[in-house]
A and B are shown apart, each in its own frame.
Chain A
Amino acid sequence: MITQIMKHEWRLLLRDRLLFIAIPVYALLLAYGVYNGDAWRQFLTTNVAAATATADDNIGKLAEKAERIERGEPYGAYEDPRIPGRFARTMAFEMAVKPPGPTSAIAIGQSDVHPSYLLVQWRAMFNQSNTDEVENPVNLAVGRFDLSFVLIYLYPLLIIALSFNMLSSEREGGTQVLMLSQPVSVGQFVVGKVTVRGLVIIGMAVTLSLLGVMASGAELADGGLWRLGAWGLAIIAYGGFWFGLSVLVNAFAGKSSTNAMVLMGTWLVLVLLAPAVLNLVAKSTYPLPSRIELVQAARRGYDAAKREAPPSAQAGGAAAELASRGGEDVMLAELNTAFKDVIPLEMRGEAAAAPMFKRFDEQRDRQHGLIDRLKYVSPAILAADVMGELADTSTASYRAFSHQVGAYHARWRDHFFDRIMAGPVLGAADIRATPRFNFVPEEDGVVAARVVPGLAALLGFVLAVFAAGFGKLRQYPAAAR
């Protein structure tokens, strides 16, 4: 019986004019979303490669310079890369890069506000020059037209447009009584309708976007496969939720226009209002200390450290003079002395400012933790969250990257600290042996642990709306309007 209903529905759908406009537009939007996500992924790939190349190039040039100095070429005090303090503090740098994940074309997520590479040298990461990607703030604020935008915002709207009147229109048209006079229950009738529509809309979303992302060169080997699988499941669940909601609303046997308004209202609340309200709640429950305070804390710390133990600024100057006279050995010793003063001073300054930074991080963790608990109120937030995690463009993914960079920064300091304090100059070989950053993608298990609760909750939402919908359908008044 259900197959007959489905065949009938299929024929009806084929005659629906709305569908002839909506489906191609929908397909086009999905394809455009994939294209955009892929273009961004390619940009990030080239960008991080270029950033790494700058660091390689710089270290290579510094090593060559050291070789030339060792061979006896004349040089200025500021040009000598062999002084460990100067090398580690200003001349050398590493570009710590976060290459895009295997399925990053799914969602641009947070990857446009966070830099894809960070400049690391001795200086505290907080004071490091910013490597934010160049982007018009208007475009950042509006957000990208990527696949996740099409799926989170537009896909539910299309589902609503095609299902808000699945029962009410037949009821209003008077054909429902006729239909229900056949040996078929309202439930079966709805199953047939939802299945046909679901196959078209959800099926298109899943196949088009999976094919698109795969065609764009997602690497299936590196955890790409399970990500794509989980992502397909998320699309099905999120679409299923909106179909289920439509069944539930139709089960109340209201007018088509009432159904449309209720569904639109729910969309508005779940997709636009709930995230904005939660954001406001999180921001006002755990307000972050202002960045201005951090900037000032860092500066105060440094000033205080300087007042307590002023550096022998003369040392650096004397070195410069000696260098200009060619007293090379003396110069090296003198500049090293200067850095022996300056580096610990800076570290004392940082230590003084550290509690403020710690408070900032803790407060941010609390804010993000609160959102992690509150995200379960809206399937739209859950879906966006799951997509961001699967694309490796979530806030958590950037936090993990930032931790890795922090650890690498500490390693940079450890590597050079003894040399700065002990004072031997670096040779070209030492320069070439500068420790480099290696991005380690998060373990699949770690990412999965962030994805599974959200995905499970989405599925829970689907079960809940369908259960409620079919439950309500049992009391569906079969009589005509």
Chain B
Amino acid sequence: MIWHVARKELTEITRDGRFLWSAFIIIVLLLTSLGVAASRYGEDRALREAATREVRSQWLNQGVKGPHSAAHYGVYAFKPSTPLALFDPGLNDYTGTVTMLEAHKENQASYKPAQDATSLQRFGDLSGAMILQLLIPLLIILLCFGMISGEREEGTLRQLLSVGAKRSDLVWGKAVGVAVTLGLVLVPSVLVGAVLSGLIVGESDPHDMIDFPAKVAVLAGGYLAYLAIFVVVSLTVSIMAKSSRTALTILLGFWILNGLLLPRAAADVSRQLYPTPSALELSQAIRVGRDRGPHPHEPNHPNHIAFREKLLATYKVERIEDLPYGFFGLALEADETHGFKVFDRHVGELNRRYAMQNRFQQAIGVLSPFIAVRSLSSALAGTDVDFANQFAAAGEAYRRNLVKVTNDDLKRNTVGWTTFDAEWRYKAGDDVWKRVPAFDFDAPPLGDILARNWLPIAVLAAWLFGGVVALLSVSRRMKIDV
């Protein structure tokens, strides 16, 4: 029986010109957005790879110079993205893309693409994710809102039940009909889009492809659940509402709350609950903290003198030239170690606040599956805050190793040198630069992503489960006449 109803719905929907047009528009938008994103992704990746190679060769071929001045010359790290980012650009326009890794400073990634974009950027991106998160649910609502209430208003519901159809079969038949119709539209276009963008993008860096097929599978599962939620919720409302008009009003209200109002309100409330310092406050706090360090470049600074005296006392020598390690290297090392603590405290606190804001917003996902699917999707696509933070952390770890290598070289090779000589006369070469490995960054594996995103997954599962239970229960008590 379910199949009969489903087939009838499929025929009816696909005969409707309005549906065909909307489906056509959605397919065109989906393919265009994927195609444009894919070509852009390919170019960006080629550029990023070339730049990474160039930065590496600049580092290796910087010639003979002081190790500390090499650490100041530094290295640029470029934020990579996985091919799934072309489906869900997520926060990519709002996170910095280039980080300068150099001595003394933990720089924040610069150049958010949104800063260069027009104000239209703020209306949102046209992407595969936006289409699946906002447009398809609206299409589902428009398909489903009158499915039961409409039959009731036309009087055909009683007829249907009189020929022996069970209420639940009728309802599930309609659900299956909608699902099959959407599947016929979406599955081929997503597949075509995927193959097309795969061809445009070409072979990707294995670092970006970690657990790729599994991530795609989870992503597909997440969207399937999200769209299924809209089918069951729409049908439930269609059964319960007094009229089709009421059903449509309620469902549109839900759509607006889900995708428009709650995400902004949740972001806003999370910001007020867990405020972050201003950029100025943050940089000042870091400066004040860093200022307590040994000031390796300023021999007359009280901190520098104190550090020197302490070191001389520890090693029981009179002059820094008699220390077992180069003094300038030791001072730089102590300064960096002190700096690491300062950065860890302030940047760490900031990231904790972001994490609390995000967790709060994910919890609001209980009211808005959009927030849940958005979190999950951007996490899998590598376009969420965690990805950006992990990239920043990898950059910082790399920077710490870089300054360690250069400072170690100074410590070892300037024993008995004055500070001045160690800073200005001592030179190192390729062999030291080679000790710093090339920067690379691995996209987080699926396991990490799932562990961080159990809340959105649970929210989606709960919505789906709750929706199915609600639909089962209202379909049993369905009113037959207006």
Interface flags for B263-292 (1: CB within 8 Å of A; 0: not) read 111011011000011111011100000000
**CB-contacts of B283-340 with A (<8 A):** 283-284, 297-301, 304
Closest chain A residue, CB of each to CB of B66: A313
Interface flags for B129-140 (1: CB within 8 Å of A; 0: not) read 010001100100
Interface flags for B238-250 (1: CB within 8 Å of A; 0: not) read 0000001100110
CB neighbours of B48 from chain A (8 A): 292
CB neighbours of A385 from chain B (8 A): 119
Contacting pair B118 A292 (CB below 8 A): no
Interface flags for A35-59 (1: CB within 8 Å of B; 0: not) read 0100000010001001100100000
**Minimal beta-carbon separation of A163 from chain B (angstroms):** 13
A291 at interface, CB cutoff 8 A: yes
B361 at interface, CB cutoff 8 A: yes
Do A295 and B124 form a contact, CB below 8 Å, given A142-B264, A144-B264, A320-B423? no
CB neighbours of B283 from chain A (8 A): 131
Contact of A280 among B36, B108, B268, B357 (CB under 8 A): B36
**CB-contacts of B19-37 with A (<8 A):** 29, 32-33, 36
B95 at interface, CB cutoff 8 A: yes
* Stretch in A71-79, A409-417, A432-440 touching the partner: A71-79
**CB-contacts of A226-272 with B (<8 A):** 256-257, 260-261, 264, 268, 271-272
Contacting pair A292 B301 (CB below 8 A): no
A157 at interface, CB cutoff 8 A: yes
* Stretch in B109-117, B176-184, B397-405 touching the partner: B109-117
A181 at interface, CB cutoff 8 A: no
Contacting pair A137 B94 (CB below 8 A): yes
A222 at interface, CB cutoff 8 A: no
Do A317 and B123 form a contact, CB below 8 Å, given A141-B90, A153-B260, A276-B130? no
Interface centre among B48, B111, B283 (most CB of A within 10 A): B111
Total A-B Cβ pairs within 8 A = 230
**CB-contacts of A272-319 with B (<8 A):** 272-273, 275-280, 282-284, 287-288, 290-293, 295-296, 299, 303, 313-314, 316-318
**Minimal beta-carbon separation of A247 from chain B (angstroms):** 20
Contact of B123 among A144, A279, A321 (CB under 8 A): A279
Q: CA–CA, A129 to B96, complex, Å?
A: 13
Contacting pair A275 B123 (CB below 8 A): yes
**Minimal beta-carbon separation of B119 from chain A (angstroms):** 5
B47 at interface, CB cutoff 8 A: yes
Interface centre among B51, B122, B350 (most CB of A within 10 A): B122
Q: CA–CA, A76 to B304, complex, Å?
A: 11
Q: CA–CA, A165 to B245, complex, Å?
A: 10
Q: CA–CA, A89 to B108, complex, Å?
A: 21
A451 at interface, CB cutoff 8 A: no
Contact of B114 among A113, A264, A271 (CB under 8 A): A113
Q: CA–CA, A139 to B122, complex, Å?
A: 12
CB neighbours of A427 from chain B (8 A): none
Interface flags for B82-111 (1: CB within 8 Å of A; 0: not) read 000000001101111110000000011011
Contacting pair B91 A137 (CB below 8 A): yes
A149 at interface, CB cutoff 8 A: yes
Contacting pair B284 A290 (CB below 8 A): no
A367 at interface, CB cutoff 8 A: yes
Contacting pair B280 A292 (CB below 8 A): no
B363 at interface, CB cutoff 8 A: no
Do A288 and B116 form a contact, CB below 8 Å, given A145-B264, A279-B125? yes
A479 at interface, CB cutoff 8 A: no
Contact of B423 among A165, A290, A317 (CB under 8 A): A317
Contacting pair A138 B300 (CB below 8 A): no
Contact of A109 among B112, B119, B248, B350 (CB under 8 A): B119
Closest chain B residue, CB of each to CB of A325: B420
**Minimal beta-carbon separation of B369 from chain A (angstroms):** 16
Contacting pair B276 A279 (CB below 8 A): no
Q: CA–CA, A292 to B77, complex, Å?
A: 10
**CB-contacts of B336-353 with A (<8 A):** 350, 353
Contacting pair A113 B118 (CB below 8 A): no
CB neighbours of B385 from chain A (8 A): 136-138
**CB-contacts of A110-136 with B (<8 A):** 110, 113-115, 117, 129-136
B439 at interface, CB cutoff 8 A: no
Do A291 and B298 form a contact, CB below 8 Å, given A264-B252, A284-B36? no
Do A139 and B278 form a contact, CB below 8 Å, given A275-B123, A279-B117, A364-B116? no
Contacting pair A74 B108 (CB below 8 A): no
**CB-contacts of B121-175 with A (<8 A):** 121-126, 130, 134-135, 138, 142, 146
Closest chain A residue, CB of each to CB of B124: A276
Q: Is the interface of A mostly helix, strand, loop or mixed?
A: helix
A161 at interface, CB cutoff 8 A: yes
We find that the number of chain A residues with CB closer than 8 angstroms to chain B is 89
**Minimal beta-carbon separation of A296 from chain B (angstroms):** 5
Contacting pair B115 A113 (CB below 8 A): yes
Contacting pair A283 B117 (CB below 8 A): yes
Contacting pair B260 A314 (CB below 8 A): no
Contacting pair A384 B58 (CB below 8 A): no
Do A272 and B123 form a contact, CB below 8 Å, given A132-B112, A136-B358, A139-B270? yes
Contact of B126 among A117, A279, A299, A318 (CB under 8 A): A279
Do A292 and B279 form a contact, CB below 8 Å, given A264-B252, A324-B299, A388-B119? no
CB neighbours of B277 from chain A (8 A): 134
B354 at interface, CB cutoff 8 A: yes
Contacting pair A43 B278 (CB below 8 A): yes
Interface centre among B43, B47, B135, B419 (most CB of A within 10 A): B47
B228 at interface, CB cutoff 8 A: no
Contacting pair B118 A276 (CB below 8 A): no
Contacting pair B279 A134 (CB below 8 A): yes
**CB-contacts of A141-178 with B (<8 A):** 141-145, 149, 153-154, 157, 161, 165
CB neighbours of B252 from chain A (8 A): 260, 264
Q: CA–CA, A324 to B135, complex, Å?
A: 70
Do A395 and B119 form a contact, CB below 8 Å, given A295-B98, A324-B299? yes
Q: CA–CA, A134 to B112, complex, Å?
A: 12
Closest chain A residue, CB of each to CB of B122: A143
Do A139 and B124 form a contact, CB below 8 Å, given A132-B112, A364-B116, A395-B119? no
**Minimal beta-carbon separation of A479 from chain B (angstroms):** 22
Contacting pair B78 A54 (CB below 8 A): no
Contacting pair B300 A79 (CB below 8 A): yes
**Minimal beta-carbon separation of B86 from chain A (angstroms):** 13
CB neighbours of A313 from chain B (8 A): 424
Do A295 and B76 form a contact, CB below 8 Å, given A140-B114, A257-B244, A260-B248? yes
Contacting pair B119 A292 (CB below 8 A): no
Contact of A291 among B98, B245, B420 (CB under 8 A): B98
B425 at interface, CB cutoff 8 A: yes
Contact of B299 among A76, A131, A284 (CB under 8 A): A76
A348 at interface, CB cutoff 8 A: no
A421 at interface, CB cutoff 8 A: no
Interface centre among B44, B55, B98, B357 (most CB of A within 10 A): B98
CB neighbours of A75 from chain B (8 A): 300
Contact of A276 among B44, B116, B126, B361 (CB under 8 A): B126
Contact of B265 among A145, A257, A276, A314 (CB under 8 A): A145
30 contacts between A and B (CB under 8 A): A47-B278, A76-B297, A76-B299, A76-B301, A113-B115, A130-B96, A132-B110, A136-B276, A136-B358, A138-B385, A139-B267, A142-B263, A143-B264, A144-B264, A144-B268, A257-B245, A264-B138, A272-B123, A275-B120, A277-B29, A280-B36, A280-B126, A288-B116, A296-B51, A317-B423, A317-B424, A324-B299, A324-B419, A380-B123, A388-B119
Q: Which 5 A-B pairs have the closest CB atoms?
A: A317-B424, A275-B123, A276-B126, A137-B94, A291-B111
